């Protein structure tokens, strides 16, 4: 590993960021010098209630200066994030819930000077949802008795009864705790991906991870919202066949079937089926290989993550069609991987794995392939051919990326080629110097100043980088390189939030 090269990449990026974000240094150090939370330190009550009311009452354009003054007066990052999450759950928009965790994870990857900007971005998105007059309704009707709350929740999911699901999940939470109730939502969250772009497991995973940071006493609004949403949807086209596969396989699964052990040959075989849109063959291969002991779940997740990333890599055009739609190939499988890692029961875990494989092959690859929108390219073979490119700084790479904006397509062929070249250069950089963390820091640095109103601007990178950390090390450079097709570079305009912060200070 070229340590001098890695140090150069880090130093050049740090110098650029210090110049751009120095004006936020004092406040960020005071409010977010550490974003390690103390569980249970923030309690739902008058203090957080007052902050939520302030979010609701403050005009959108005034929110940044108002809360900068609050930070100057002692508001902490954890208090702000907690109030943001509560406000987000009241907007009646799943994106609002999911984006809070993405903003928090992005803040954890950037220098201190930038740490408040992702939260301000999320605040602006919450205000946009309120401007559209989306509000969660009040909880009406009596709750099921605690002794039958779980069975009532299962019945509500089976009967697709949102009203009962909402009341039942609240009853479960009040009887056994919010974390337990959220576990129960994983029983049904994987059942529909193709009609929802995976937002059901995305919402549950994002809520869980945020609540782990701010405290489970804040869980009830998120539980209500997710129970309503999940109950509304029946199983998609892959759900029924995959449930049959789960039922047939459960008794024969070896004890270590869920291990993360890598298997290059199996991963490439499954990847070949997924990238060709061969849904049934892919799911059958997963089940037969797990039951026989030929492969473990980790090798299957490697193939799924590669196939999801390759959709972005191969798409004929870039811009909004990737950033607003196809990124869900990554964000949905990321959420299902989280559910797989979280749960301990074989039924739900295997269902998460098979639904990730099924949705990737059937919807994200298959439908796009049938529409003639995938190029004749191969993620692994084409990037391997890029390994000998002369490495350059990440600042130079991100300067080549086309402008990424809300509802903007990459209309000129040169823009798609520029993204392809940036992708190859990232791969060459990581292969030559191992500078993967430097790439993530550089990408996150641009996000905090460039992310616009598209909720996926920050949700997607969080999922892509997390997936890259979970796959076997040999596949990590491929996933990180493919992610540039949906990232901001220096050509994208600064977002209005950054301008408001500068003006305020």
* pLDDT tens digits, 283-338: 999 999 999 999 999 999 999 999 999 999 999 888 777 766 899 999 999 999 99
DSSP state letter for 294: S
Q: Which CATH class is domain 146-232?
A: mainly alpha
Tokens of 426: 């990232």
Cβ–Cβ under 8 Å, residues 318 and 485: yes
- CA dist., res. 168 & res. 144, Å (int): 6
Cβ–Cβ under 8 Å, residues 167 and 141: yes
Give the mean model confidence (pLDDT) for residues 262-272: 98
- Torsion sign, CA atoms 197, 203, 208, 211: positive
Alpha helices, DSSP H only, in 319-391? 320-321, 328-342, 346-359, 368-370, 379-384
Is it the case that residue 41 has pLDDT exceeding 70?
Answer: no
Task: Give SS3 for 113.
Answer: helix
pLDDT tens for residues 344-372?
999 999 999 999 999 999 999 999 999 99
pTM over 0.85? The answer is yes
- CA dist., res. 157 & res. 206, Å (int): 20
Is it the case that residue 153 has pLDDT exceeding 80?
Answer: yes
- CA dist., res. 443 & res. 480, Å (int): 10
- CA dist., res. 183 & res. 313, Å (int): 34
| Range(s) of the chain covered by CATH 1.20.272 | 146-232
CA neighbor of 286 nearest in space, from 237, 249, 316, 260: 249
């Amino acid at each position: 590993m070229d340590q001098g090269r890695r140090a150069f990449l880090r130093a050049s990026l740090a110098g650029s960021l210090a110049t751009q974000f120095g004006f936020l240094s004092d406040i960020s150090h005071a409010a977010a010098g550490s974003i390690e939370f103390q569980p249970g330190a923030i309690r739902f009550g008058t203090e957080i209630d007052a902050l939520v009311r302030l979010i609701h009452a403050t005009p959108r354009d005034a929110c940044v200066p108002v809360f900068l003054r609050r930070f100057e007066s002692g508001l902490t990052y954890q208090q702000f994030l907690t109030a943001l999450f509560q406000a987000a759950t009241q907007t009646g928009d799943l994106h609002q819930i999911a984006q809070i965790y993405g903003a928090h994870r992005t803040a954890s990857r950037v220098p201190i000077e930038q740490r408040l900007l992702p939260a301000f971005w999320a605040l602006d998105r919450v205000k946009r949802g309120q401007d559209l007059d989306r509000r969660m309704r009040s909880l009406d009707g009596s709750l099921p008795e605690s002794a039958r709350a779980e069975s009532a929740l299962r019945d509500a999911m089976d009967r697709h009864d949102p009203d009962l699901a909402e009341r039942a999940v609240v009853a479960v939470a009040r009887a056994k705790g919010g974390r337990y109730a959220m576990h129960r939502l994983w029983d049904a969250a994987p059942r529909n991906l193709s009609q929802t772009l995976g937002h059901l497991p995305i919402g549950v995973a994002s809520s869980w991870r945020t609540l782990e940071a701010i405290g489970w006493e804040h869980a009830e609004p998120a539980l209500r919202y997710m129970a309503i949403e999940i109950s509304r949807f029946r199983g998609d086209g892959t759900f029924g066949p995959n449930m049959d596969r789960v039922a047939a396989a459960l008794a024969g699964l070896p004890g270590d079937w869920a291990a993360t052990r890598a298997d290059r040959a199996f991963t490439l075989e499954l990847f070949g089926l997924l990238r060709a849109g061969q849904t049934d063959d892919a799911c059958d291969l997963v089940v037969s290989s797990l039951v026989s002991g030929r492969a473990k779940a980790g090798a299957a997740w490697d193939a799924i993550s590669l196939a999801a990333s390759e959709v972005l890599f191969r798409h004929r055009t870039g811009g909004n069609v990737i950033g607003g739609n196809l990124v869900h190939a990554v964000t949905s499988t990321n959420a299902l991987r989280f559910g797989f890692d979280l749960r301990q029961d074989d039924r739900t875990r295997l269902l998460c794995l098979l639904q990730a494989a099924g949705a990737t092959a059937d919807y994200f690859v298959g439908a796009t392939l049938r529409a003639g929108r995938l190029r004749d390219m191969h993620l692994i073979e084409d990037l391997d051919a890029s390994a000998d490119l002369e490495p350059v700084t990440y600042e130079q790479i991100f300067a080549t990326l086309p402008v990424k904006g809300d509802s903007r397509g990459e209309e000129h062929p040169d823009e798609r080629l520029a993204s392809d070249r940036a992708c190859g250069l990232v791969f060459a950089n990581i292969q030559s110097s191992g500078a993967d963390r430097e790439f993530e820091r550089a990408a996150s640095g641009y996000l905090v100043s460039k992310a616009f109103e598209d909720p996926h601007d920050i949700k997607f990178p969080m999922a892509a980088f997390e997936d890259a950390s979970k796959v076997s090390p040999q596949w990590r450079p491929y996933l990180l390189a493919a992610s540039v097709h949906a990232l901001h570079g220096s050509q994208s305009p600064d977002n209005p939030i950054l301008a408001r912060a500068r003006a305020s200070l």
